[in-house]
Amino acid sequence: MNPTVVPLPYDDTAAVTARLGSEGPALLKRAYRWMLVGRTLDQRMLALQRQGRIGFYGPATGQEGVNVAAGLAAGPTDWIFPGLREQLVALVRGHGLTEYLHHLFANGLDPALGRQMPCHPTAREVNYVSMSSVVGTQITQAVGAAYAMRHRKDNAVTLGFFGDGATSANDFHAGLNFAGVFGLPIVFGLANNQWAISQPVERQSGSPELVAKAAAYGLPGVRVDGTDLLASYAALREALATARSGGGPTLVEFVTYRMTPHSSSDDPARYQRGDWADRALAHDPLLRVEELLHRLGLIEAGWTERAREEIDVEIRAAVVEAEKVGPPLPETMTNGVFANASPSSSPPERT
């Protein structure tokens, strides 16, 4: 696996501004801090899972650049349909860190009342739809939402994420075909981390570049170095603007490197080559942004260390708050399930 994606050079602040817009360097610092939040959260939550304090965790280490870029590029009225590693998008859009921790602990303040899998948050207040472990189902859901937006004449776009493995699912083909035929306001974000759990990408597709599949459905396709925050942000911003202006959907393939196990239940040593971890580390999106900030002189000495300490304190405080809360009350079990939240204990009479 050797993706033919050439990293784009950014050697001066003018180039940064060209990619990030008028906010330029300030937005780059903000994006870096959010990437630090994602990285620190992954490390802390994996540790909690090993301690038995949460049940499951799926890290997004190596994909922070794409997720932060999506959170910053999407408009406030746009809807996000995540794959399995886009939790950080919800946080960037304004979902509270403590509320997200309530979800991971499945406690009484969890928005899903403890019924959803860990790492599958739902954040209605920021238009972030719950994840699903069923591969690819969110693609057709995102397309349906885009069709509804077109019907209602909303000035909004759906952004649907999925992994390389989902390109082998029926929903991928049905979704892209429908969106292409009707020219819907949707951006398809293909996060190609080159592994569908233990299955390498070349074992599931004969296309050396997955973005080539877009042409079959009449969609433009863009292949981006997903470890490059600036390139990811620029590609998303352009695709979202095209969809918003009536130009139809775009498939954006982000080539990334999975830097961790698929989840806390996975052992990649059983199937990955021995040099994979070193190759992935060489493309670390967080280090790329950190090096860029230093090279451009955009952060003073000690700024990175202070940011790391602040974020660690924030996450630890959120963990303390979440662990204080007890489990959901038994009487909430049917909330949102039945029209009557407390159905009668007596079965209805047969007619």
So which residues are the catalytic ones?
A: 258, 262, 271
For 238, the token pair is 């352009």
Helix (H, G, I), strand (E, B), or coil: what is residue 24? coil
CA gap 157, 246 in Å, rounded: 10
CA gap 235, 253 in Å, rounded: 10
Angle, helix 303-324 to helix 25-50, in steps of 10 degrees:
40
**Using DSSP, how many helices (H) and how many strands (E) does the chain show?**
11, 7
Helix (H, G, I), strand (E, B), or coil: what is residue 51? coil
CA gap 286, 99 in Å, rounded: 25
Strand segments (E) across the chain: 79-81, 158-163, 186-192, 195-196, 199-200, 221-225, 250-255
**Residues 153, 154, 158, CA angle at the centre, nearest 5°?**
120
Looking at the DSSP bridge assignments, the partners of residue 161 are 189
Cβ atoms 268, 262 nearer than 8 A = yes
Cβ atoms 174, 140 nearer than 8 A = yes
CA gap 36, 75 in Å, rounded: 22
Which helix (DSSP H) or strand (DSSP E) does residue 321 occupy?
helix 303-324
Cβ atoms 46, 57 nearer than 8 A = yes
Q: Measure CA 252 to chain center.
A: 14
How would you classify the pairing of strands 186-192 and 250-255?
A: parallel
For 274, the token pair is 């021995």
Type of residue found at 294: H
